[in-house]
Amino acid sequence: MPLTETSEKYTQSNKEKALVAKGLVKIYKGSSHPALSGLELSINPGEIFGLLGPNGAGKTTAISIMSTLLRPTSGSIAIYGIDAVKQPNQIKKLIGLVPQDIDLYANLTVRENLCYFGRICGLKGEKLKSRIAECLEMVGLEKKADQLIFKFSGGMKRRANLAAGILHKPRILFLDEPTVGIDAQSRNMILEKLSLLKENGTTMIYTTHYMDEAEELCNRVAIIDEGHIIAKGSPKQLIVQPPGHNGLKDLFLALTGKRLRD
The DSSP result for 65-82, as a single string, is: HHTTSS--SEEEEEETTE
| Domain presence at residue 99 | no
pLDDT at 11: 40
Rounded Cα–Cα distance for residues 237 and 44 (Å): 17
pLDDT at 98: 96
Q: How does pLDDT run across 232-262, given as a tens digit for each residue?
A: 999 999 998 878 888 999 999 999 987 777 6
| Whether residue 197 is found in the same domain as residue 117 | no
Give the CA-trace dihedral at 96, 98, 103, 104, to 10 degrees: 80
| Whether residue 80 is found in the same domain as residue 204 | yes
| Whether residue 63 is found in the same domain as residue 114 | no
| Whether residue 189 is found in the same domain as residue 140 | no
189 within 8 A of 33, measured Cβ to Cβ: no
| Whether residue 237 is found in the same domain as residue 253 | yes
| Whether residue 249 is found in the same domain as residue 131 | no
Question: How many distinct structural domains can be found in the chain?
Answer: 2
User: Crossing angle, helix 125-138 and helix 110-120, to 10 degrees?
Assistant: 130
Given a cut of 80, is residue 6 above it in pLDDT? Answer: no
Q: Residue 153's domain spans which residues?
A: 105-166
Mean pLDDT to the nearest integer, 51-61: 94
| Domain presence at residue 100 | no
80 phi and psi, to 5 degrees? Answer: 50, 45
| Whether residue 192 is found in the same domain as residue 230 | yes
**C-alpha R_g of the chain:** 18
Rounded Cα–Cα distance for residues 156 and 153 (Å): 5
175 within 8 A of 207, measured Cβ to Cβ: yes
| Domain presence at residue 16 | yes
Average model confidence (pLDDT) across the chain: 92
- Whole-model pTM? 0.91
Rounded Cα–Cα distance for residues 204 and 209 (Å): 16
| Whether residue 179 is found in the same domain as residue 254 | yes
| Whether residue 89 is found in the same domain as residue 176 | yes
| Whether residue 87 is found in the same domain as residue 154 | no
Q: Where are the alpha helices (DSSP H) in 93-172?
A: 110-120, 125-138, 154-166
Q: How does pLDDT run across 148-191, given as a tens digit for each residue?
A: 999 999 999 999 999 999 999 999 999 999 999 999 999 999 99
Could you tell me which of 34, 13, 12, 15 has the C-alpha nearest to residue 23?
A: 34
CA distances from 35 to 39, 64, 155, 211, 220 (A): 10, 12, 30, 22, 22
| Whether residue 19 is found in the same domain as residue 89 | yes
Domain end residue (candidates: 143, 166, 189): 166
Cα distance between the two ends of the chain: 25
| Whether residue 18 is found in the same domain as residue 146 | no
In b/e form, how buried is each residue of 133-152, taking b as 16+ CB within 10 angstroms?
eebbebbbbeebbeeebeeb
| Domain presence at residue 75 | yes
| Domain presence at residue 3 | yes
